[in-house]
A and B are shown apart, each in its own frame.
Chain A
Amino acid sequence: MQPRSLLLVLVCVLLAACDGGAAAADLQGATVAEPTPKPSFTLTDTEGRPYDFVAETEGKITLLYFGYTHCPDICPVHLAQIAEAFDQLPRVAAESEVVFVTVDPERDTPEVLRRFLDRFDRRFVGLTGTPDELKAAQEAVGVTPAFKDGGGEDYTVQHAGQVFAWGPDGLLYAQYPFGTRQQTWVNDLQLLAKIESRPG
């Protein structure tokens, strides 16, 4: 390669990197001080297949949420907002993976999870596991593991309320607490899409 061509490549790489950095700086979600790599865990998807979080989401914008289908007030609103943003941004949606991990494996069978997620977007991934596996996944992400609240069949589950967002480069850029507005998702998903994925 000619020195001039090499210089051009370098400039392009730097510009791309800067563009990604600038995009991250404009995120409206609760940004993290230092972007951190994806946590490693493997759970089971709604088809019963093992799902290695790092491998399956490589190179994609990744949104992760721990919730449960009996939750009417928080969980479905997050998912509905993301689905609505995807409707507005089909190209971004195609480069993204939304992962919903149940914290209520007792009631959220794979079938229940699939039916719930299909109400929003058939591409959304639903994961479950044993209580120990689910606890380990939450600890890997750095949230307080969920626990059952109350007794009887109408128990609720206390769980992390925020959605975590990794860029295509596999770094965690922001968290979205409950109350995030629709426009924030549309804004931030476009910005996350500008971040370059890391060369394999």
Chain B
Amino acid sequence: MTARIALLVVALGVTACAATTDSRSIDVSNARIGEPAGVHAAAYMTLKSDADDRLVAAATDVAREVQLHVTATEDDGSVRMEPTGAIALPAGQEVVLEPGGTHLMLMDVEPLEAGDTVTLELEFERFGTLPVTATVVELAEVFE
């Protein structure tokens, strides 16, 4: 039994090592949230994964739910916003989440002010979970 436990410990150790020495990386930059004016807010950022991956979900303590959304502009000037199942991250390519495009929608968000920071838990299909710190910015500066 002792030997079996030792073997189990070794096996677990190897697994943990495999995870920590994984060379995978996902760079997240310019993560920001527009200061909420209504009940929802939107988060934007630039993502770059070193391998093909997909952002499949996100969560935060400051909102009831986080949905992946896409805003699209129609030919007649109408804008449509709808949930999307996942955001593809082709290896090595920058994927920009920006106003009027793909974004994370923070539903029923708590009051936030410019300068606050918020932790967003991003869940990737292959990479797993990655916590990201986003800064709350004034809405007029959300393009920056």
Contact = CB atoms under 8 A, between A and B. Distances in A.
Contact of A73 (B71, B74, B83, B138): B71
Nearest to A120: B37
A69 B106 CA distance: 14
Interface in A44-69: 69
Interface in A103-158: 116, 119-120, 143-144, 146, 149-150, 154, 156, 158
B41 interface: yes
Given A149-B80, A177-B73, A178-B100, A72 B140 contact: no
Contacts of B107: 154
A76 B34 contact: yes
Interface stretch (A4-12, A33-41, A91-99, A159-167): A159-167
A80 B79 contact: no
A79 B37 contact: yes
Nearest to A180: B143
Interface string B2-32: 0000000000000000000000000000000
A71 interface: yes
B54 interface: no
For chain B, which range describes its interface: under 10, 10 to 19, 20 to 34, or 35 or more residues? 20 to 34
Given A80-B139, A161-B79, A177-B77, A73 B37 contact: no
Interface residues of A, number: 34
A48 to B, nearest CB: 21
Contacts of A83: 140
A181 B73 contact: no
Interface in A70-93: 70-74, 76-77, 79-81, 83-84
| 5 A-B pairs with the lowest CB-CB distances in the bound complex, closest first | A80-B139, A161-B79, A69-B38, A84-B140, A72-B40
Interface of A: 69-74, 76-77, 79-81, 83-84, 116, 119-120, 143-144, 146, 149-150, 154, 156, 158-162, 175, 177-179, 181-182
Given A72-B34, A143-B78, A161-B78, 17 more contacts: A72-B38, A72-B106, A74-B71, A74-B99, A77-B140, A77-B142, A80-B140, A154-B67, A156-B81, A159-B78, A161-B73, A161-B79, A162-B77, A177-B73, A179-B99, A179-B100, A182-B140
